[in-house]
Amino acid sequence: MAGTKSADRRARRARRHIRVRKKMSGTGERPRLVVFRSLRNMEGQLVDDDRGVTLLGLSTQSAPTDGEVAEGMSAKVAAAYRAGFALAERAKEAGIERVVFDRAGFRYHGRVKAFADGARAGGLDF
């Protein structure tokens, strides 16, 4: 008997994430920027996989609500952009300029793309 539609969707995303994680790993000098997209919020973390620690993290709940965004962006997409920008600023303060982007099995569009674009605009190189 098949599971529910949302459980199947979560399982497919988990398989995609495992497939992506086989090929990438974060280090101390180039940590992994992993994103998580829930229905309401976006989260981003910088992870050093060699030591197994999270260096810093930020979500749309803790990101500043002001800042530059493009015209025509929805509120969620604009919040994701601002969160990515704020994460990049905090990473630069911590001395991190280069990262490996891990989309965590999510498609690279919408809020995930906006988060990445905000991080790039904030000064992160990936």
Closest to 87 in 3D by CA, of 49, 48, 110, 59: 59
The residue-averaged pLDDT of 2-30 equals 87
Instruction: Tell me the pLDDT of the chain averaged across its residues.
Output: 90
DSSP letters for 39-105: SS-EEEEEEETTTTEEEEEEETTTS-S-S---TT--HHHHHHHHHHHHHHHHHHHTT--B-EEE-TT
Q: What is the CATH number of domain 5-121?
A: 3.30.420.100
**Digit-coded pLDDT (tens) for 66-125:** 666 667 788 899 999 999 999 999 999 999 999 999 999 999 999 999 999 999 999 999
**Digit-coded pLDDT (tens) for 2-15:** 678 889 999 999 99
The residue-averaged pLDDT of 10-31 equals 89
The residue-averaged pLDDT of 15-39 equals 90
**Digit-coded pLDDT (tens) for 67-84:** 666 677 888 999 999 999
In this prediction, residue 73 carries a pLDDT of 80
In this prediction, residue 101 carries a pLDDT of 94
Q: Do 100 and 64 contact (CB within 8 A), yes or no?
A: no
In this prediction, residue 58 carries a pLDDT of 93
Domain boundaries, the chain: 5-121
The model carries a pTM of: 0.86
